[in-house]
Structure 1
Amino acid sequence: MSTAVSSAPVTILRTATGREALRWVRDHCRTAPLLPVATVLATVAGAVLQVVPVFLLGTVVDGFVEKRPATMLWSVGIATVVAALGGAVMTAVSTYLVGRVGADMLARLREGAVRAVLGMPSARIEQVGRGDVLSRVGDDVAVISKGFRTAIPTIFSAAVLVVIATAGMFGLDWRLGIAGAMALPAYWWALRWYLPRSQPLYRARSEAQADRAQALISGLDGIDTVRAYRLEGVFRDRVTAESWRVRNIGIEVFRFFGRFIGRENRAEFIGLGLIIVVGYLLVTGGQSSLGQVSVAALLFHRLFNPLGLIMAFFDEAQKSGAGLTRLVGVLSESDGDKLVRSAAAVDVNAAPLPVSVRGLSFQYPESDHLVLQDVDLEIPAGTSLALVGATGAGKTTLAALVAGTGTPLTGSVHIGDTDLADVDEAGARALVSILTQEAHVFAGPLAEDLRLAAPEASDEDLMDALRTVGAAGWVEALPDGLRTDVGEGGERLDVTKVAQIALARLVLGRSPVVVLDESTAEAGSQGAAQLEKAALAACRGRTTLLVAHRLTQAVAADRIAVLDAGQVVEQGTHDELVARDGRYARLWAAWRLGSTNT
């Protein structure tokens, strides 16, 4: 089904900037500050205890040079063991706490992203494609989750250890500290070279994964059509092309990462070489002891391991950062798009409302022609209007706009005194219910599926709605009646039964206006006749706009509007339009001829 969409040219969900993502993380930590503070303290304590044995080793070296008693080794050895055990315990505690902070953050992020997606206007979801949506709430969440479990705790602990060890070198002798710090410009230049080049690659890979998911989903959704027209090879080639695109970007990322590691190794060589040279000059000049220089060299060498861990997990952290910006971007979609909020409850006893369409025009993004042009329609309260016309005339687009899905280029749609442009989609759903041929049954008990439209409805209310649409008989014959599981993993329902469930939800929803967009088109001829009667019963007493797939549906409507190339060319009752001998009369004659031949 094609529905109206916003006229904005955006085709994917928003991606936040790195600064916005960091701001979101900061705000999250402020909501529960005790856990982040405890995490930092545990990490610092673990890092300090890890460098203590290095300083103790310097004491041993000076003791050997100064020929101190051998008993000193026992005290140093005991202190080293205690420090090592304490460091291991605090590192484990730090890793757990970082993971806990990450888990809490991810839970909030995932919940917010899913809520934002569920709250987006359906036109926005159709515009961006489900591949982009699913890659964010699926692939990106998985990447961030892995990063919070492994990369982030490791990098955070390693970074704290680097700071502590660097501070220790300056504490020994400022000249040794400066010698080691001379490696920092080399590290900085390596990062400055790598980051601007890698971040766009990670985002490009995420977008390529979204395109691959969309290609796969479109093929699976239309698998029957694909097989009917023998298009398996076309869709397979499309998925293969997108997969190779993901693969090629991944190779480019790995290539840049390898060059980055080479630059980091050069920085390590510079720092260690300078410490050895400066240390030699200080020892020969009597300005520092051999133990101090040994500690400085070992501290800098001690940095190799945490820096190596940072480099090893940097790729994972980059992917997590890219995923974070994409998910935070979903949370901020409300900056440019009106999210769906909770709709006010509909009074089931309220009178039906009239529908007024005035000067309505619509144009799809990146299209150079109008789908609808200056459409004017009036549907009096409690009456029905059928839209007929050739494929591409604009019937579905007009129905979607009347239902509040999408934004017209010009003109307005009023439900009673309410302009749909002034309400979000939830507000529109409170006024207008739309039913298309893409009816869906959710997995679970049938009663829960029906209560999606009326959460407070009793079992008797559900059965009344099912009786209205002619479905009570087969529902009562189910193994557990309303408690029977339907949908995936449950009772298999044919197209007619699925449509009846959708119509029963329509009855339970009780909105004053109903839009039916070819809701019986997928059923066979016998099922279609049954569903047409059910649709009339479900809409009785409500203002109804019907996109007529069969002209028998149009005949049952109070009035008919004929669309051609986005314009209303005829309006009237069935008898009036047949008597005019115009476009509708020709459609009706062709329909009767086809029905007779069949």
Structure 2
Amino acid sequence: MTTSAPAKILRTASGREASRWVFDHCRSAPVLPIATAVATVAGAVLQIVPVFLLGTVVDGVVQGRDASMLWTTGIATVVSALAGAVMTAISTYLVGRLGAELLARLREGAVRAVLGMPSARVEQAGRGDVLSRVGDDVAVISAGFRTAVPTMFSAVVLVVIATTGMFGLDWRLGLAGACALPAYWLALRWYLPRSQPLYRARSEAQADRAQALISGLDGIATVRAYRLENAFRDRVTAESWRVRNIGVDVFHFFGRFIGRENRAEFIGLGLIIVVGYLLVTGGQSSLGQVSVAALLFHKLFVPLGLIMAFFDEAQKSGAGVTRLVGVLTESGGDELVRSAVAVDADARPLPVSVRGLSFRYPDSEHDVLRDVDLEIPAGTSLALVGATGAGKTTLAALVAGTGTPLTGSVRIGSHDLADLDEAGARALVSILTQEAHVFAGPLAEDLRLAAPDATDDELMDALRTVGADTWVEALPSGLRTEVGEGGERLDATKVAQIALARLVLGRSPVVVLDESTAEAGSQGAAALERAALAACRGRTTLLVAHRLTQAVAADRIAVLNSGRVLEQGTHEELVALGGRYAALWAAWRFGTAHTDCVPR
């Protein structure tokens, strides 16, 4: 099998793109955003009403007014405080609900985008990057939308309302408090450009850690066979330390930001006290007004403190949003966007023509395939034979339409795969690899992934074709039996038979089999080879031959070496030729004469 390409992670959107996506979503369903804004503003106004009432009390005491004023002011304070608490609770609920809807739409869109990407692009990015986005990033955004976002949104609105109130009292008091804003702005301007790359770097490091863990677990048998446990553990440990070190840097950086914010608070409160003293002594303002201004600015300490406390969480959520929006806009990046061409695929076989095909993985200096020419007449089969790394799997993937060649073309009938989107390619070509998967749920629903409208009789016919009807009928509930995680345990042979049954149900005119029987044992492999032949009967078939018995059963054979086709012909022709295939055949015959194992 060809060595996988170096990972090239999925696109990350800019902050402006992420903000535009959120704005467009809110504009498409404006009722909830508007209700959220109204409730938040009302809650903020009601929270500062008691402060103004307290200023009235101070002026009343200075002026020697009647004590009955205290009852009226006290009742108004209690009512406004209770109303403010209710509106704040409503605002928090609405902000959380709005965030949940945004996250649901973003998550579903990201998953849909990944499922709609060319398979080669997903493999190129690596499952670690994909899973970290739809897993870790979604978890971070969800936590942020539950706590940080509602809190920060309410705090920002309260800051705006309180600042407006200070200017309403006296423009000079408002200006004194506003003098703190440049200090806040400078702190944010210093922090934001430096923090965002750190958060993105941490997310990417988490993706690399996930990829290292997944790759090791997927190949755990190989890891143990070659005694690579220590190397695997060291790699995961190194990636984990990288995540930890970036996290420490983020924490230290955030602490410096908090210090700058505290200096801004000191500047604002100090200026209000000084200006208020001068205004009161000059008779230009009352003691009550100055008291209200100082209390309003002091009241800003709580929302500003909350903003700072949750800013770290909000930054994480923001970085997660940019990564998920980047998945949504992946097709707008530097990847090739194919034209969507309608294809009327039926069960009739179509010829396959490969002309001048070359392929190179990104960031690689060597071609995996070079000037490959192949012809597979309609309804016939061609087996690819060659050593590991010869390019068999890469060629099979390109014929299946899951990659873009560097040069040359692949035509299925009259269609050039380069002109088709993946849906069009799937209508023409079905690919089955050794990594067959059974999804959790009823067996019938698993089979209907290939044919949603298939009846139970059609499902059983497909299972009968691949020799799986007997054991399926023996299941506790037949086709209704739960399989996959949490359900009936199926061995590798049965899983492969289900995949072959899906292939039968798909009815595409061309089939690509990439070592689809490799995971079964010797007896199971023989049965699966017969099942694969039955599933492909009447179709044009390209198969990566894992065993020479598969190659013998094919109509023609192509021998690959270092990305080039060395020999083509029938089994008899190639044996008579006395070249590479003849040597492989002789070695296989000698091996089977001395061992009971089928060579792999």
TM interval, shorter chain, is: over 0.9
2:214 equivalent to 1:217:
yes
Aligned to 1:475: 472
Q: In the TM superposition, what is the alpha-carbon distance from 1:324 to its structure 2 partner? A: 0.6
Aligned to 1:333: 330
Aligned to 1:516: 513
2:528 equivalent to 1:531:
yes
Q: State the distance in 2 between where 1:4 and 1:67 align.
A: 86
Aligned to 2:392: 395
For residues 31-50 of structure 1, the aligned pairs below 5 Å read 31-50=28-47
Q: State the distance in 2 between where 1:341 and 1:435 align.
A: 25
Give the SS at the match of 1:560.
Answer: strand
Deviation readout 1:109-140 (Å, 9 max, x if unpaired): 11101100111111011101111111111111
Give the SS at the match of 2:512.
Answer: strand
Q: In the TM superposition, what is the alpha-carbon distance from 1:403 to its structure 2 partner? A: 0.7
Q: State the distance in 1 between where 2:10 and 2:258 align.
A: 34
Aligned to 1:103: 100
Q: 8 Å contact 1:520–1:528 — kept in the other structure?
A: yes
Q: 8 Å contact 1:119–1:339 — kept in the other structure?
A: no
After the TM superposition, which segments of 4 or more aligned residues of structure 1 sit over 3 Å from their partners? Answer: 1-5, 336-348
Q: State the distance in 2 between where 1:561 and 1:20 align.
A: 49
Which amino acid counterpart does residue 470 of structure 2 have in structure 1? G
Q: State the distance in 2 between where 1:554 and 1:565 align.
A: 19
Q: 8 Å contact 1:431–1:511 — kept in the other structure?
A: yes
Aligned to 2:598: none
Q: In the TM superposition, what is the alpha-carbon distance from 1:41 to its structure 2 partner? A: 1.2
2:74 equivalent to 1:82:
no
Q: In the TM superposition, what is the alpha-carbon distance from 1:424 to its structure 2 partner? A: 1.5
Give the SS at the match of 1:562.
Answer: strand
Unpaired segments ≥5 residues, structure 2 = 596-600
For residues 23-38 of structure 1, the aligned pairs below 5 Å read 23-38=20-35
Q: 8 Å contact 1:346–1:511 — kept in the other structure?
A: no
Q: In the TM superposition, what is the alpha-carbon distance from 1:344 to its structure 2 partner? A: 6.3
Aligned to 1:261: 258
For residues 227-238 of structure 1, the aligned pairs below 5 Å read 227-238=224-235
Unpaired segments ≥5 residues, structure 1 = none
Q: State the distance in 2 between where 1:522 and 1:250 align.
A: 41
Q: 8 Å contact 1:120–1:338 — kept in the other structure?
A: no
- Equivalences, count: 594
What TM-score results when the alignment is normalised by the length of structure 2?
0.96
Which amino acid counterpart does residue 399 of structure 2 have in structure 1? V
Q: 1:200 to 1:401 in 2, by over 3 A?
A: same
Q: 8 Å contact 1:121–1:340 — kept in the other structure?
A: no
Equivalent residue for 1:145, pick from 120, 142, 146: 142
Deviation readout 1:436-494 (Å, 9 max, x if unpaired): 11111111111111111111111111111111111111111111111111111111111
2:169 equivalent to 1:175:
no
Q: In the TM superposition, what is the alpha-carbon distance from 1:224 to its structure 2 partner? A: 2.0
Aligned to 1:455: 452
Q: 1:4 to 1:200 in 2, by over 3 A?
A: closer
Once the two structures are aligned, what percentage of the paired residues are identical? 85
Aligned-residue RMSD, C-alpha: 1.6
Q: In the TM superposition, what is the alpha-carbon distance from 1:228 to its structure 2 partner? A: 2.4
Deviation readout 1:498-517 (Å, 9 max, x if unpaired): 11111111111111011111
Deviation readout 1:161-209 (Å, 9 max, x if unpaired): 1111111111111111111111111111111111111111111111111
Q: In the TM superposition, what is the alpha-carbon distance from 1:96 to its structure 2 partner? A: 1.1
Q: 8 Å contact 2:39–2:88 — kept in the other structure?
A: yes
Q: State the distance in 2 between where 1:437 and 1:408 align.
A: 23
For residues 233-382 of structure 1, the aligned pairs below 5 Å read 233-336=230-333, 337=335, 348=346, 350-382=347-379
Deviation readout 1:270-323 (Å, 9 max, x if unpaired): 111111111111111111111111111111111111111111111111111111
Give the SS at the match of 2:593.
Answer: helix
Q: In the TM superposition, what is the alpha-carbon distance from 1:231 to its structure 2 partner? A: 2.0
Q: In the TM superposition, what is the alpha-carbon distance from 1:363 to its structure 2 partner? A: 1.1
Which amino acid counterpart does residue 447 of structure 2 have in structure 1? L
Give the SS at the match of 1:597.
Answer: coil
Q: State the distance in 1 between where 2:3 and 2:375 align.
A: 21
Q: State the distance in 1 between where 2:594 and 2:337 align.
A: 50
Which amino acid counterpart does residue 224 of structure 2 have in structure 1? R
What TM-score results when the alignment is normalised by the length of structure 1?
0.97
Q: In the TM superposition, what is the alpha-carbon distance from 1:229 to its structure 2 partner? A: 2.3
